[in-house]
Structure formats: C-alpha cells, structure tokens
Amino acid sequence: MHYFAFLIDDQLDKMNTVDLLSYRERVIKIARNKITPNRSNCVEWMLFDTTLALREIDESLADDLTEGFCALLRAQTAPERASIKHLGPYLEWREVDAGRTFYTALMRFGGNLHLTTTELTQLSGLESCAFRFMGVLNDVYSWDKEWKAHQSNLTDGSLPFSAVYVLAQETGLPYAACKRLMYSYCRELELVFEKSAHNIRQGSQGFPRPEVEKYIKSLEYFMSGVETWSQWTPRYEVS
C-alpha cells in the first residue's frame, strides 16, 4: 500500500489539474472495490486485488486502511495546499498530508491491533508527534531536490510544499538555516513523544493493554524508520 501511494503520486505529478482530480477519484473507487480496474494498467489491478485480499483477512482493519489511503491521496492533491503561508497551519496540514490516517491504519492492520475509540483518542497526541516528525523530517531531507526541481520549472505549481519554504518566507532566514531549525524541531518532537508515552503508561498504572503498548512501540519504530529511510533513499538525491 505504501508503494502504491508512491506510484500513484508519481503518475498524478504528470497530469494537469482536471485530469489529476478525475484520475484521483477513479483510483479511490478502485481502492474501495467500487469499480473494476483496467486490467492492462498494472497499478490499477494490483491496487484492486490487494485491497480485496486485505478485506478477506480483516474487513474492519482493511476498511480503515483503505479510507486512510484515500485520505492520503486527497490530501496530496488538495488545492488548499497552495494557500498555506504560516508554519502553524502548515504543521497541522502536514500531519494529514504525510498520511497520518493511512500509516496508523497500516500499523494496526499489520499488527492485528484492534484498539477502542477511547484508546485511539488517548493515543492521538502520540500520533500527532509521530506524523509531524515524519512530515518535517521528509521536508528537511527532500528540500535540496525539491528546490532544484522548482528552479528548473519556475511556476507556482512547482513551489515546494515544505516547512523549510514556509519558515523561510515567514522569517526571511536562508533556506539552509531553516533546514537546521526544522531538524532541531524534529529532535524536540522526539522528547515530547517520550513524555507523552510515559504519561499514557502512568495513566494506565504502568500496564496498558498489550495492544496499546504494541501500538506505542510501532509509532516509535515508525519514527526511527522514517529517519533512516530519509537519510538513505535515492528518492531525495540531487542529480
């Protein structure tokens, strides 16, 4: 599902606005198994067959995962992105844009973790930390490539959707300085995550349900995995 998100995002990047929105809605219907895919299009049939197979394993968790996937596609192609000018609103939007509902559903499906509504509400702050961390860290590591892409195509549509860019526009600081500041922000988010996780455990007398403890660890591993991936992926290399 993670790989499909990248493949589809790469396809959407090549389309004009009208075609992009039309194809996005088609992909969403395919993911929900509402329409049949074009079997000559490998991404379409693989997405359809994968989500169908997931529902056969656990329909409830698979539905959450599919809806998270659809939310990710919509967030990445939403016109509101272009209107965000300040860091606070950007960080709120970036949680959605980074795929919070998708990746958390992916973790629960992968771990077979059925959490209650109350538990998910209790864990919401941890999710927020983890996905602000993910979004901003990706912004830091992808910045050089994004800025180079914009320089080669000086249009509004190519402007980076990045914390580095937003902070630079707000403060007048150089991009290199904003990269360092946002990297430090990620380190602070780790400390907030650790404190919040400690408070949740203390609130459960130190013994939350095993599913809750597994989910907390999943978020921790997710954060460390994102950082390692961002450091090493060729996707962010500047050619």
If asked whether residues 207 and 119 sit together in one domain, one would say yes
**73-82, 95-104, 192-201 — which is least confidently predicted?**
73-82
Q: Classify residue 175: in a domain, yes or no.
A: yes
Residue 200 has pLDDT above 80, yes or no: yes
pLDDT of residue 84: 85
If asked whether residues 39 and 94 sit together in one domain, one would say no
**20-24, 105-109, 134-138 — which is least confidently predicted?**
20-24
Q: Classify residue 46: in a domain, yes or no.
A: yes
- Could you say which DSSP state residue 84 is in? -
Q: Classify residue 89: in a domain, yes or no.
A: yes
Residue 156 has pLDDT above 60, yes or no: no
pLDDT of residue 237: 87
- Structural domain count of the chain: 2
pLDDT of residue 97: 75
Q: What integer is the mean pLDDT of 204-227?
A: 90
If asked whether residues 94 and 163 sit together in one domain, one would say yes
If asked whether residues 130 and 40 sit together in one domain, one would say no
Q: What is the DSSP string of 96-128?
A: HHTTHHHHHHHHHHHHT----HHHHHHTHHHHH
Q: Classify residue 108: in a domain, yes or no.
A: no
| Amino acid found at 86 | H
pLDDT of residue 49: 96
Q: Give the model's confidence band at 20: pLDDT under 50 very low, under 70 low, under 90 confident, else very high.
A: confident
If asked whether residues 91 and 52 sit together in one domain, one would say no
What is the overall mean pLDDT for the chain?
90
Nearest CA to 158 out of 147, 143, 170 is that of 147
Q: Give the model's confidence band at 3: pLDDT under 50 very low, under 70 low, under 90 confident, else very high.
A: confident
pLDDT of residue 208: 85
Residue 149 has pLDDT above 90, yes or no: no
pLDDT of residue 80: 72
Global pTM reads 0.83
Residue 64 has pLDDT above 60, yes or no: yes
If asked whether residues 47 and 91 sit together in one domain, one would say no
Q: What integer is the mean pLDDT of 193-212?
A: 87
If asked whether residues 118 and 228 sit together in one domain, one would say yes
Task: Decide: 209 and 119 in contact? Cβ < 8 Å.
Answer: yes
pLDDT tens digits, 32-59: 999 999 999 999 999 999 999 999 999 9
Interatomic CA distance for residues 46 and 31, integer angstroms: 10
Q: What integer is the mean pLDDT of 7-30?
A: 84
Residue range(s) defining the domain that contains residue 17: 1-77
Q: Classify residue 105: in a domain, yes or no.
A: no
If asked whether residues 89 and 63 sit together in one domain, one would say no
If asked whether residues 70 and 87 sit together in one domain, one would say no
pLDDT of residue 89: 92
If asked whether residues 89 and 185 sit together in one domain, one would say yes
Measured CA distances, 186 to 28, 97, 189, 234 (Å): 32, 17, 5, 22
Q: What integer is the mean pLDDT of 197-205?
A: 85
> Burial of 197 by CB count in 10 Å (0-12 exposed, 13-18 middle, 19+ buried)?
buried
